[in-house]
Amino acid sequence: MGFLKVLDCTLRDGGYCNEWRFGNRNTKTIAASLVEANVDIVELGFLTNRVSYDPEVTKYTDLAQMAAMIPADRAGKLFVCMVNYGEFELEQLPEYDGSSVDGIRVAFHKKDRYEALRFCEGIKNKGYKVFIQAMVSLNYTDEEFLELIRLSSAFMPYAFYIVDSFGVMKRRDLLRLFYTVEHNLAQGIAIGYHAHNNMQLAYSNAQALVDIRTNRDRIIDSSVFGMGRGAGNLNTELFVAYLNDNLDTDYRIKPLLGIIDRILNRFYQMAPWGYSLPNYLSAKHNAHPNYASWLDGKKTLTVEDMDSIFQMMEPDKLANYDKAYIEELYLRYQATGQVQELHLQELTKRISGSRVLIIAPGRSSVEEFEKIRSMAGEADVVTISINFDYQLLDTDFIFLSNLRRFRELSPEKYGKCIVTSNIPAMGVYLQTSYRELLNNTEAVRDNAGMMLVRLLIQLGAREILVAGMDGYDTDPSRNYADQSMAFYTRKAQMEAMNAGMSAVLSEYSRQIALDFVTEPKFVRVDG
Of 50-59, 329-338, 385-394, least confident by mean pLDDT is: 329-338
Among residues of the chain, what percentage have pLDDT more than 90? 81
The amino acid occupying position 344 is L
Q: Are 327 and 451 members of one domain?
A: no
Quote the Cα angle for 178-181-185, to 5°: 150
Q: Are 247 and 370 members of one domain?
A: no
Distance CA 239, CA 196 (A): 14
Of 123-127, 251-255, 481-485, 518-522, least confident by mean pLDDT is: 481-485
- What is the pLDDT averaged over residues 62-91? 97
Backbone angle region of 270, left / alpha / beta, with phi > 0 → left and psi within -120 to 50 → alpha? alpha
Distance CA 134, CA 185 (A): 14
Residues 6 or more apart in contact with residue 412 via CB below 8 angstroms: none
The mean predicted confidence, pLDDT, of the chain is: 94
Is 383 a member of any domain? yes
Is 527 a member of any domain? no
Domain termination site, one of 241, 270, 299? 270
Is 522 a member of any domain? no
Q: Which residues of 336-369 are buried (b: 16+ CB within 10 A; e: fewer)?
A: ebeebeeebeebeebbeebbbbbbbbbbbbbebb
Q: Are 122 and 17 members of one domain?
A: yes
For position 423, which CATH number holds?
Answer: 3.40.50
Q: Are 463 and 377 members of one domain?
A: yes
Q: Are 250 and 331 members of one domain?
A: no
Distance CA 116, CA 111 (A): 9
- What is the pLDDT averaged over residues 109-116? 97
**Chain segment 190-213, per-residue pLDDT in tens:** 999 999 999 999 999 999 999 999
Distance CA 468, CA 480 (A): 9
Q: Give 488's pLDDT tier (boundaries 50, 70, 90).
A: low
Q: Are 249 and 300 members of one domain?
A: no
Into how many domains does the chain fold? 3
Q: Give 100's pLDDT tier (boundaries 50, 70, 90).
A: very high
Between the alpha carbon of residue 184 and those of residues 88, 112, 147, 358, 485, the distances in Å are: 30, 22, 10, 67, 54
Q: Are 291 and 250 members of one domain?
A: no
Of 163-172, 320-329, 485-494, least confident by mean pLDDT is: 485-494
Beta bridge mates, 466? 358, 516
pLDDT at 480: 83
In contact, 199 and 168? CB cutoff 8 Å: yes
Distance CA 148, CA 131 (A): 13
Per-residue pLDDT for 490 more than 80?
A: no
Distance CA 514, CA 527 (A): 10
In 210-282 the beta strands, taken as DSSP E runs, fall at: 218-222
Is 432 a member of any domain? yes
**Per this entry, what is the length of the chain?**
527
Residues 6 or more apart in contact with residue 498 via CB below 8 angstroms: 471, 472, 522, 523
Q: Are 362 and 461 members of one domain?
A: yes
Distance CA 282, CA 168 (A): 9
Per-residue pLDDT for 279 more than 90?
A: no
Is 61 a member of any domain? yes
Q: Are 318 and 465 members of one domain?
A: no
Domain termination site, one of 243, 270, 297? 270
Q: How many helices and strands, by DSSP H and E, does the chain display?
A: 21, 16
Q: Are 60 and 207 members of one domain?
A: yes
Is 526 a member of any domain? no
Per-residue pLDDT for 487 more than 90?
A: no
**Chain segment 141-188, per-residue pLDDT in tens:** 999 999 999 999 999 999 999 999 999 999 999 999 999 999 999 999
Q: Are 374 and 460 members of one domain?
A: yes
Q: Give 130's pLDDT tier (boundaries 50, 70, 90).
A: very high
**Chain segment 325-368, per-residue pLDDT in tens:** 999 998 888 887 778 888 999 999 999 999 999 999 999 999 99
pLDDT at 293: 86
Of 228-232, 334-338, 438-442, least confident by mean pLDDT is: 334-338
Is 525 a member of any domain? no
Quote the Cα angle for 103-104-107, to 5°: 150
Q: Are 141 and 172 members of one domain?
A: yes
Distance CA 84, CA 68 (A): 22
Per-residue pLDDT for 527 more than 70?
A: no
Per-residue pLDDT for 251 more than 80?
A: yes
Can you give the residue range of the structural domain that contains 281? 277-335
Exposed, middle or buried, 400 (CB in 10 Å: 0-12/13-18/19+)?
buried
